[in-house]
Amino acid sequence: MARTESYSGNTNLKWIVLGVSILISIGSIYYTDVLVDELKQRERQQVELFAKALEYTLNEQSNDNILFVTDEIIFKNNSIPTIWITKDGDYQHRNIDIKDDWPPARKKKVLEESLQEMRARYEPIQMTYRNENGEVENYGYVYYKNSFLLTQLIYYPFIQLSVIAVFAFISYLAFNYSKVAEQNQVWVGLAKETAHQLGTPLSSLMAWAEVLRDDPNLKNKEIVDELEKDIRKLTIVTERFSSIGSVPALKPENVVALVNNVVHYLRPRVSSKIKIEVFSLSENIQANVHAPLFEWVLENLCKNAVDAIGATGTIAIKILRGSESKVYIDVSDTGKGIARSKIPMVFKPGFTTKKRGWGLGLALAKRIIENYHKGRIFVKSSEENQGTTFRIALNTAPL
């Protein structure tokens, strides 16, 4: 079980990284939100002071005071966009991007748009105009919206997080790409090396078998027959390893015959309580395959089926012509099934629930079908304690 644990450890780490990133994001958005609120309050106070100052200048007769107020307060507001309407209905503004040399119509349009935006956002601040006797004469209103600084601060965390997310995504892709490239190298290198190493003893075994067969002193010729069978199997294994180490050429083959080959090979090696059945509507269904590798996939699926069944049960292999130039091979068993949550993991290298499993059978099958045959392999259905069906989809041979 150690392998399964290390496998799930890997996924746990992913969740931890994801969780921490989400926490950091929420934290940073929350913190900026607090800052934004504070700044909003300050801007409101600033505009209130500004309105007070305006009101003062409009009601004050003494010029000295007015000069101080205008210089120190009104012109100090150089960040918050503000529009106020005087008692005569004039529009005045500060910090709104309007150039002096614009035609009046354009100025008016920009002013009105800004005013609308301000109205939607904040309550205006009221100014009271009084006559010489101090009686209320009229009201004016100061409208404002967030300063550029505040607007930037509001959007800043989102921009920052998106930049980080894009960056993280690109690094993830790059990392994954290099991981896949590395895995490919390991698969290919190991397979080639194995084929290479098996080659030499295999050719000498063949030669020894020849020698034995010709030996007049050997009574029991059956030994040589059995030996040759094993040599043939070893040759196939070597061929498989050497084909996975290179880019295998696909040819039109009769899939029904290939399936029967595998069943023929497996039948004497599997308990007689496990039935293996082959169904197909035609004796000849052609698909574009590399025979040794395709047989390897079938063998892996059947071995898994045998393991899942345990004592008694049936393995059914159906070969069907699908639509859109596809051929389907469904391998069903009456075994223990796969838990729903485990289905997405079965093709991952290293995933196994068996004491002596390596979790490589299905990873290899997927690689062979998807990379080399441009087909698809997937769990078509699985019910716990009922059985499982794996489907291989291959491309039909070009006519």
Ligand X SMILES: Nc1ncnc2c1ncn2[C@@H]1O[C@H](COP(=O)(O)OP(=O)(O)OP(=O)(O)O)[C@@H](O)[C@H]1O
Nearer to Mg ion, 140 or 335 (CB): 335
Least distance CB 244 / Mg ion (angstroms): 16
Find the residue with minimal CB distance to Mg ion. Answer: 361
* The entry of Mg ion, ligand X, none that residue 391 binds, CB within 5 to 8 Å by partner kind: none
Q: What angle do CA 157, 161, 162 make, to 5 degrees?
A: 120
Distance of CA 108 to the CA centre of its chain: 51
| Selected binder of ligand X within 157, 245, 361, 375 (CB under 6 A) | 361
Looking at residues 273 to 302 of the shown chain, list those that interact with ligand X (rule: CB under 6 A).
300
Site for ligand X, residues 369 to 398, rule: CB under 6 A: 388
CA angle 278, 282, 284 (to 5 degrees): 95
Look at phi and psi of residue 324 and say left if phi exceeds 0, alpha if psi is from -120 to 50, else beta.
left
Q: Looking at beta carbons only, is 289 or 302 nearer to Mg ion?
A: 302
Residue nearer to ligand X on the CB measure, 133 or 385: 385
| Three-class secondary structure assignment of 272-290 | CCEEEEEEECCCCCEEEEC
Residue 303 beta carbon to ligand X: minimum distance, rounded to whole angstroms: 7
Residue type, 128: T
Interface with ligand X includes 81 (CB under 6 A)? no
Tokens at residue 60, please?
């004050």
Q: What are phi and psi of 289, to 5 degrees?
A: -140, 165
Q: Tell me if 144 contacts ligand X by CB under 6 A.
A: no
Q: Do 96 and 69 form a contact (C-beta atoms < 8 A)? A: no
- Tokens, residue 361: 């059978």
Between CA 92 and CA 100 the distance in angstroms is: 13
Binding pattern for the stretch 86-115 against ligand X, x by CB under 6 A and - elsewhere: ------------------------------
As measured in angstroms, the least distance from the Cβ of 347 to ligand X is 7
Which lies closer to ligand X via its Cβ, residue 142 or residue 346?
346
User: Residue 143 forms beta bridges with which residues?
Assistant: 83
Min CB(239)–ligand X separation in Å: 20
CB of 297 to ligand X, least distance (A): 11
**Number of Cβ atoms within 10 Å of the Cβ of 395:** 17
Residue 333 touches which member of ligand X, Mg ion, none, C-beta under 5-8 Å by kind: ligand X
* Shortest distance, position 208 Cβ to ligand X, whole Å: 31
**Which of 150, 209, 212, 360 forms a contact with ligand X (CB under 6 A)?**
360
Nearer Cβ to ligand X (81/335): 335
Q: Over 50-100, what HEC string results? A: HHHHHHHHHHCCCHHHHHHHHHHHHCCCCCCCEEEECCCCCEEEECCCCCC
354 binds, among ligand X, Mg ion, none (CB under 5 to 8 A by kind): ligand X
| Residue span 314-333 as binding mask against ligand X, x where in contact by CB under 6 A, dash where not | -------------------x
Question: Which of Mg ion, ligand X, none does residue 338 bind to, with CB < 5 to 8 Å depending on kind?
Answer: ligand X
Q: Judged by CB under 6 A, which of 245, 313, 359, 375 binds ligand X?
A: 359
Binding site for Mg ion (CB under 5 A): 304, 361
Q: Which two tokens stand for residue 396?
A: 């039909």
Rounded Cα–Cα distance for residues 256 and 114 (Å): 75
Instruction: For the CB of residue 292, give the shortest distance to ligand X in the complex, in Å.
Output: 18
Token look-up 């150089």 returns 78
Is 354 near ligand X (CB under 6 A)? yes
Q: Given the DSSP bridges, would you call strands 313-322 and 274-280 parallel, antiparallel or unpaired? A: parallel
Site residues, ligand X (CB under 6 A): 300, 304-305, 308, 333, 335-338, 346, 351-354, 357-363, 388
